[in-house]
Amino acid sequence: MEKRKIIVGSRDSVLAVAQTKLVMEAIRRANPGIELELVTRKTTGDMILDKTLDKIGGKGLFVKELDQGLLAGEIDIAVHSLKDMPMEENPELPIAAFFMRGDPRDVLVMPAGQKDPGTLDGMDAIGTSSARRQLQIRDMYPEAGLKSIRGNIITRLDKLDRGEYSALVLAASGLMRAGLEDRISRYFSPEEMVPAAGQGILAVQARRDLDVSFLEAVNDRNTAFAAEAERSFVAALDGGCSSPIAAYATVDGEKLKLTGLYFNEDTKEHLVDSITGDRTEAKQLGQVLAVRMKGGLS
């Protein structure tokens, strides 16, 4: 019998391809009767590197070309880092599966051969373009100097090692999946630095009319609940890529705990708060926490 063929789309960066191959391997193990083919696309977000995301259109620039490929039938599914996806889901291109979450933490990366100095105060060029990370670094290290950086993970590490930056703050999961775990100098706990909504989660997107039963084995329910809570929180606050908003959910049995960071653009104040409830009410928990925190800083 001829195998069913599924064409899988990915951004063409080293990290994106490595992450997509992880998902493809899991699909193959669960579905030996399916043939998978990888197709890569360079996205607008990968090509424009001299401006911050909020200046060029936001996170949708990392999925636009793959969305077009899905709608045109050129690819069947696409694998994304969930935190790169817009909060508003296209009903024609729903998220069909959430791969088991990787390490959600942020990490410190020092230039090759240098050790963690213990404090970031006094550093003049810590590389991150994330408003969320900038806000929380300043909370921990008021004397630290921050410097914007764009580019894929390899480009950023090259800039660091050339002396353009004194350190970087990156996602642990990305370094691990790219085989660069040895570059991690320090892990920031989620209590020190609340992760971005969806950080460490890979999402599989598909056309609405596609039979996605082959994805059942790679869809992790607890990761899906966590993703729903985190994205609901950010969406309720209308948080775009330039907003220092964060959300991190954990599931223990039937209970879900969601921690959020909210920044009030008018007062320039921010706070961190949590809510716990039934995991099946993930979306409502995100909305309730958002309303409560927004009220606390209004």
- CATH, residue 288: 3.30.160.40
Verify that 179 and 142 share a domain, yes or no.
yes
Verify that 139 and 16 share a domain, yes or no.
no
pLDDT of residue 39: 96
Q: How many angstroms separate the CA atoms of 54 and 203, rounded?
A: 22
pLDDT of residue 141: 97
Enumerate the H helices of the chain as residue ranges.
14-30, 44-47, 53-56, 64-71, 131-140, 153-161, 172-177, 221-236, 282-296
User: Comparing C-alpha atoms, which of 239, 255, 95, 107 is closest to residue 173?
Assistant: 107
Torsion angle of alpha carbons 9, 244, 47, 45, nearest 10°? 30
* Euclidean distance between the first and the last CA atom of the chain, given in angstroms as a whole number: 63
Give the pLDDT confidence of 216-231 residue by residue, as tens digits.
Answer: 999 999 999 999 999 9
- Does 238 reside within a domain? yes
Residue 50: Cβ within 10 Å count: 7
Average pLDDT over residues 242-254: 92
Burial (CB count <10 Å: 0-12, 13-18, 19+), residue 62: buried
> What is the tally of helices (H) and strands (E) in the chain?
9, 13
- Does 194 reside within a domain? no
Return the active site residues. 84
User: Comparing C-alpha atoms, which of 121, 99, 98, 117 is closest to residue 109?
Assistant: 117
**Strand pairing category for 246-252 and 255-263:** antiparallel
Average pLDDT over residues 94-122: 96
Q: How far is CA 104 from the centre of its chain?
A: 9
- Does 92 reside within a domain? yes
* pTM of structure: 0.90
Verify that 53 and 132 share a domain, yes or no.
no
Verify that 212 and 269 share a domain, yes or no.
no
Structurally, how many domains does the chain consist of? Answer: 3
- Does 196 reside within a domain? no
pLDDT exceeds cutoff 60 at 240: no
Give the pLDDT confidence of 18-43 residue by residue, as tens digits.
Answer: 999 999 999 999 999 999 999 999 76
Span of 56-70, 131-145, 164-178, 259-273 with lowest mean pLDDT = 56-70
pLDDT exceeds cutoff 60 at 57: no
What percentage of the chain carries pLDDT values higher than 70?
Answer: 91
Average pLDDT over residues 161-166: 97
pLDDT of residue 157: 97
Verify that 71 and 114 share a domain, yes or no.
no
pLDDT exceeds cutoff 70 at 124: yes
Verify that 30 and 166 share a domain, yes or no.
no
CATH assignment of the domain containing 112: 3.40.190.10
Verify that 232 and 211 share a domain, yes or no.
no
pLDDT exceeds cutoff 50 at 56: no
Q: What is the mean pLDDT of the chain?
A: 91
What percentage of the chain carries pLDDT values higher than 90?
Answer: 81
For 251, the domain range is: 220-298
